Amino acid sequence: MGDTTASTPTMTAEVEMIPITVDFSGGLEMLFSNQRRHSLEIPATDKDGKPCNIASLIGYLCENTMKDPRRELFVLDDHIRPGILVLINDADWELEGEEAYEIQRGDNILFVSTLHGG
C-alpha cells in the first residue's frame, strides 16, 4: 500500500501517504470489524490539498474503514458523536487542538466510547 501508483479517481499518484495507527475501545471496536487496532496509511493531504487533520481522518474512517452501517454511532452532523473521547497519542484531543490537529506520521489516534454502566 505504501508507494502504490495505481491512482483512484479522487487521489493523484503523487499524494503522500502517512502511516498511523487508529484504535477503538469501550465497545466502538464493534463498529470497526471487531478489531481494536487498525494500521492505516492515509493521504497526507485532503482533496483540497490541506494537511490531514482529525476532522478529515474521521471522514476517511467512515468512508474506508467502517463496515458497520450504523454511522450515527460514530459521527453526528459530521462531527464525532458526543460520548466519544478522542485521544491523540494517549492525550485528550482538547490538549492538542481537537479536530484541527494535523496528523503526523506514526501518530496513534484512539477513539473511546464513554461508559456509564456499573
Partner 1 sequence: QNGVRDSLAPEEFDRYSRQMIVPGMGKDSQLRLLNSHVLIIGAGGLGCPAAQYITGAGVGTIGIVDGDVVETSNLHRQVGHATSRVGMLKVESLITHLRALNPLPNYVAYPFPISPENAAEVIRGYDLVLDCTDNPATRYLISDICVLLCKPLVSAASVQKSGQLIVLNCPPAPQGLVDNKYAPCYRCCFRKPPPAGSMVSCGEAGIMGPVVGTMGVMQAGEAIKILASGLHLPGSEGGNLREPTLLIYTYELENTIGPFSFRALKMGGRKKNCFACGENSTLTLEGIKGGDPNYEQFCSLPSAKHTL
DSSP 56-90: HHHHHIIIII--SS-GGGTEETTEEPTTEEEEETT
DSSP 2-68: TT-----TT--TT--EEEEEEEEETTGGGGTTT-SEEEEEEESB-TTSPBPBHHHHHHHIIIII--S
Residue 113 near partner 1 by CB under 8 A: yes
Count of residues binding partner 1 (CB under 8 A)?
Answer: 32
- The stretch near partner 1 (CB under 8 A) out of 5-13, 41-49, 58-66, 69-77 is 69-77
> Which three cell numbers mark 9?
479517481
Residues between 71 and 110 with contacts to partner 1, criterion CB under 8 A:
72-73, 76, 81-85, 87, 90-92, 94-95, 110
Least distance to partner 1, CB of residue 96, Å = 10
Q: Looking at beta carbons only, is 9 or 118 nearer to partner 1?
A: 118
Binding region for partner 1 (CB under 8 A): 23, 25-28, 30-31, 36-37, 70, 72-73, 76, 81-85, 87, 90-92, 94-95, 110, 112-118
